Amino acid sequence: MESEQVTARPLPSNALHWARILRNYREPNHGRSIYEIGATLVPFLGFWALAWAAIHFGYWEVSPILWILTAGFLVRLFMIQHDCGHGAFFRRRRANDWIGRIIGVLTLTPYESWRRNHAQHHAGTGNLDRRGIGDITTLSVREFRALSRWGRILYRGYRHPLVMFGIGPAYVFLLRQRLPDDLIRSNGRVWISAMASNLASAVVVTVLIWFIGIGPFLLIYLPITLIAASIGVWLFYLQHQFEQTSWEHDGEWNLQVAALHGSSHYDLPRILRWFTASIGVHHVHHLCSRIPFYRLPHVLHDHPSLGGTNRLSLVQSLGCVRLALWDETQRRLVTFRDARS
């Protein structure tokens, strides 16, 4: 990664101001948290059973609808696991950790290793000198031009929508998260936790195959998992991959500024906000990750000015797919075509 000597700039008062205000929204409501788990897990299991019934009794035409609905609840379960990883869903860490571990068996996301990676993502988001852990790989224009021809082909392939939102999510959730990476190997407890999560997932899969057969299982499990994985990567991509995002080198980087100006507000329709657990209010989440997702809408209600910050509509978000490189001169994300000119 490139580096250069820079002069540190003072923290803009508005970012620090918002970080202080948002601390008032951190307290979880245990009754609400338990309700959100039930309102997500019960429909997930119910629609999974309906998807099996549709195949078992020959109603194949309704299967795609049931796959999408079930995947939506699986995404929401992951968002609950995400809040547990931040210690935001319950007051006690043990409660957060055990709920996160249990949900991780369903989301195919070993909780301990994911929590450590995601914490590093929050600690270094928008920092050009701390890229590579828990984020979408993003090169600057100069870095891309310095690559070999083969290196450019590989990076273009990585950023292609079919890879980013199709092949990539399948690889991450079905394969990569099954095997410990260097971060997990450096911590025996995290490695053991990852293996225990894999074992628990394998037990669930084995039991389901025993009861319904491998054919019906694959026709239900794979579409739901792959749809949910692609939705999850799409959401994560848009949280920081938008034109006017913020990237800085170490000397100028500041955590609160990167959170406020380097994270988007993905303003989805109400039903999609519910299924995604308001994760689109990502600039607020990065400013204060201890806020439970069900309090994020209250923040926007109480402080409307935050609603217009880095706002992306569903239609606008489609244009972000073409953005692939950080232009340090223009200070914005650009397309490959822009970089050529």
294 pLDDT above the threshold of 70: yes
User: Kind of pairing, strands 332-334 and 325-327?
Assistant: antiparallel
pLDDT category of residue 134 using cuts at 50, 70 and 90: confident
Q: Which amino acid is at 325?
A: L
Per-residue pLDDT, averaged over 311-333, amounts to 94
> Is the model more confident about 183 or about 289?
289
The sign one gets for the Cα dihedral 312, 121, 339, 244 is positive
183 pLDDT above the threshold of 70: no
11 pLDDT above the threshold of 70: no
The segment with the largest mean pLDDT, out of 1-10, 81-90, 256-265, is 81-90
State what percent of residues in the chain have pLDDT above 90.
Answer: 73
9 pLDDT above the threshold of 70: no
| Cα(14)–Cα(95) distance, integer angstroms | 34
Output the six-digit token pair for 268: 């989805």
| Domain boundaries, given as residue ranges, for the chain | 25-340
Question: What does the pLDDT read at residue 93?
Answer: 94
* DSSP assignment of 4-50: ------PPPHHHHHHHHHHGGG----HHHHHHHHHHHHHHHHHHHHH
Q: What region, left, alpha or beta, does residue 135 occupy, with left being phi > 0 and alpha being psi -120 to 50 degrees? A: beta
3 pLDDT above the threshold of 90: no
Give tens-digit pLDDT for 112-132. Answer: 989 988 998 998 889 998 887
Give tens-digit pLDDT for 218-271. Answer: 999 999 999 999 999 999 999 999 999 999 998 888 888 888 889 999 999 999
Q: Quick one: how far is CA 49 from the chain centroid? A: 27
Question: What does the pLDDT read at residue 130?
Answer: 86
Which has the minimum average pLDDT: 79-83, 132-136, 239-243?
132-136
Question: What does the pLDDT read at residue 192?
Answer: 85
Q: Quick one: how far is CA 79 from the chain centroid? A: 8
2 pLDDT above the threshold of 80: no
**Chain mean pLDDT for the chain:** 90
Question: What does the pLDDT read at residue 4?
Answer: 34
| 3-class SS of residue 328 | coil
